[in-house]
Amino acid sequence: MIFTNSTSNSFELEFEELLSRGKMDIANVSGIVGNIIKEIKKDKNKALFEHIAKFDKWEPKEDEDLKISAESMLHAYNNIDGELRDALHLSYDRIKTYHEKQKPKSWFDDEPNGTILGQRVTPVDSAGLYIPGGKAAYPSSLLMNVIPAQVAGVENIVVCTPTPDNEPNELLLAACHLCGVSEVYKVGGASAIAAMAYGTENIPKVDVITGPGNIFVATAKKMVFGDVNIDMIAGPSEIGILADESANPNHLAVDLLSQAEHDEMASSILITPSQNLANTVKIKIEDWLKKLPRQEIARKSIEMRGAIIVTRDMDEAIDLMNQIAPEHLEIATNNAFELLASIKHAGAIFLGHYTPEAIGDYMAGPNHTLPTGGTAKFYSPLGVENFMKKTSIISFSKKAINEIGEECALIANTEGLTAHEQSVRVRLEK
């Protein structure tokens, strides 16, 4: 991992390396993904079956093999541990409560002259949700994608998830039942994105596609954008931590590893003005690594994409973190809320010594589908608005158009658009 001080001669180059973490090499997979999309558009289920056999190592025999039955989801729900079921329900309730507060409202404004202006907010007709299922299964991602779509009022929700060797994850199926999802398909990767974007004999075309995935999924989402809407093009998971000497180094070490255990390309970055804290966290990381079942993945991530940076002061630490714009940002200081105003870019901010990033992944309520790779500078977390669209409402009375029509016609005339001009003038009083 990078272990450095902001005053070192090599720091500028080391920091530039960190900032380039979000550059997924889409160029290397674009050709493969492009061919997958073309095949799905042309041959639909036939291509889908071939892709599943190739990438997930099982062969659907008929169309019905693609869809997971409601009975299977109910069976999985009934057979999970009771405490785990209760935990999923608590998570569902908290996520739903938070997202219900996000829902935008339509509005109308009446002017005295008879003008009515407004905005109508309505849900999209259909949404496709991609839920990863390769190295691990993530029922929490299902909740985080389904719930805002449901709160928005989306009528048709389609879920696609890869099932290597045709073995769906039982906990994911239980979460599907809890959420009341009926259309769940055993399709993964770029094939799933293409199927939802353009439709097949079984999988319906949707209006918006959301959900995280690997570089093939991210590339496919980028390629189909425009034919459908997408939430964002997300890369590997990441965490940034701002900490001072009041932080518990043992806590910080395991918090950094909570992202590193996702996959080898995840980023875990601690920035602190305390050299003693930095030294201790480095030791604690090694202690924790020895205890983790996913030690091999976490170790590779820490070695390749991890960093501990010691700065002159907290102001410099904040400046560096704003440049990084991390997906998750923990502020582990005694005055965390005082620092909040200085944070300009982060997908989600976790304040105080008792707010680990993991609480946001599962139980806090805000969405855990977040912008990565520095894109928090212009992207927002997944939310209800991703599943809604806005329509402008305009109504003019005769009096209203007579008040401002002449000015409107003048601008149209200046632009050389005569029909625009006359469509206003024919309505004006002579």
Per-residue pLDDT of the chain (430 residues; tens, 9 = 90+): 899 999 999 999 999 988 887 676 788 899 999 999 999 999 999 999 999 999 999 999 877 789 999 999 999 999 999 999 999 999 999 999 999 999 999 999 999 999 999 999 999 999 999 999 865 678 999 999 999 999 999 999 999 999 999 989 999 999 999 999 999 999 999 999 999 999 999 999 999 999 998 899 999 999 999 999 999 998 889 999 999 999 999 999 999 999 999 989 999 999 999 999 999 999 999 999 999 999 999 999 999 999 999 999 999 999 999 999 999 999 999 999 999 999 999 999 999 999 999 999 999 999 999 999 999 999 999 999 999 999 999 999 999 999 999 999 999 999 999 999 999 999 998 7
For the chain, give every residue range classified as CATH 3.40.50.1980.
2-24+235-364, 26-230
Question: Following CA atoms 69, 75, 80, 85 in sequence, which dihedral angle do they give, to the nearest 10 degrees?
Answer: 80
Q: Is 287 helix (H, G, I), strand (E, B) or coil?
A: helix
In whole angstroms, what is the distance from residue 259 CA to residue 329 CA? 12
- Segments in 331-373 forming alpha helices (H): 336-340, 357-362
Main-chain dihedrals φ then ψ at residue 426, nearest 5 degrees: -65, -15
Binding site, residues?
237, 259, 262, 328, 361, 415, 420
With tokens 């704003």, the residue in question is 322
> Which listed residue (51, 99, 251, 328) is catalytic?
328
Going across the sheet that includes 2-5, the strands are 2-5, 306-310, 267-272, 238-243, 328-332, 348-351
Q: Read off the tokens for 70.
A: 């409601």
Q: Is residue 338 flagged as an active site residue?
A: no
> Which listed residue (183, 238, 327, 357) is catalytic?
327
Query: What CATH number has the domain spanning 26-230?
Result: 3.40.50.1980
Closest CA to 191 of 25, 35, 31, 29: 35
In whole angstroms, what is the distance from residue 225 CA to residue 231 CA? 10
Main-chain dihedrals φ then ψ at residue 381, nearest 5 degrees: -60, 155
Q: Is residue 201 flagged as an active site residue?
A: no
Binding site for substrate, residues?
237, 259, 262, 328, 361, 415, 420
Binding site for Zn(2+), residues?
259, 262, 361, 420
Q: How far apart are the first and last CA of the chain?
A: 77
Predicted TM-score of the model (pTM): 0.93
- 2-24+235-364: CATH topology is Rossmann fold (3.40.50)
In whole angstroms, what is the distance from residue 319 CA to residue 302 CA? 23
Chain centroid to Cα 379, Å, comes to 9
Q: Is 268 helix (H, G, I), strand (E, B) or coil?
A: strand
